[in-house]
Amino acid sequence: MKKFSIWMGIGLLIIGTYVLITAMTDSEGPVEPPSPEVSVGEVNIPTTQGSYCWKGDSQGKCVDKAYASEIEMGMNHEPTEIAPGQKVNISFVQDPIEGSIEVKQWNDVDPPKDMDLIDSKITVPEQEGVYVYHIIAEWERGDGSYAFSVEVKD
């Protein structure tokens, strides 16, 4: 009977340790969508995260970030200076659902323009000026929006 009690105690100790370790480990991963990596050549372009919804295995959350416009959101960082007609690479560590990425170009003069995303790249205009790009992407676990700005300068 004494041996049984010892083995029972060891078993409970092992189970308790397992439960504690499992409870302390976040197996769901982050509860927000991955941020894009935006670059021109070797130059990284900073992005601003906008509103998103993301769900884990046991919880989810939606965050509504209030900006007056996509332009304000994109101007959260100083515009990155690039040459006319350059290609900007937009990629994610975790790929969004195929065909779900939308990119719009904004400026103070023209109406928003849908951009063609070809091989994860967009082409900036030949015309000089400051442009903001608004990205929306969707994954199985949710969606997110982001913005960045560039100054096209010769």
Q: Which domains does the chain have, with CATH numbers?
A: 36-152 (2.60.40)
Beta-bridge partners for 60? 55
pTM above 0.75?
Answer: yes
2-30 pLDDT per residue, tens: 665 665 556 545 664 544 444 444 455 66
Residue 59 pLDDT level (bands cut at 50, 70, 90): confident
CB 103 within 8 A of CB 140: no
Residue 135 CA to residue 144 CA, distance in Å, equals 8
**Cα atoms found within 13 Å of the Cα of residue 130, Cβ hemisphere only:** 11
Sequence-ordered list of residues with C-beta below 8 angstroms from that of 83, at least 6 positions apart, any chain: 152, 153, 154
55, 142 contact by CB (below 8 A): yes
For residue 152, the surrounding DSSP H or E stretch is strand 142-152
pLDDT digits (tens, 9 = 90+) for 116-138: 999 999 999 999 999 999 999 99
The confidence band for 144, taking pLDDT boundaries of 50, 70 and 90, is very high
Q: Which residues make beta-bridge pairs with 82? A: 152
What pLDDT does 112 receive? 97
Q: Which two tokens stand for residue 5?
A: 């009690």
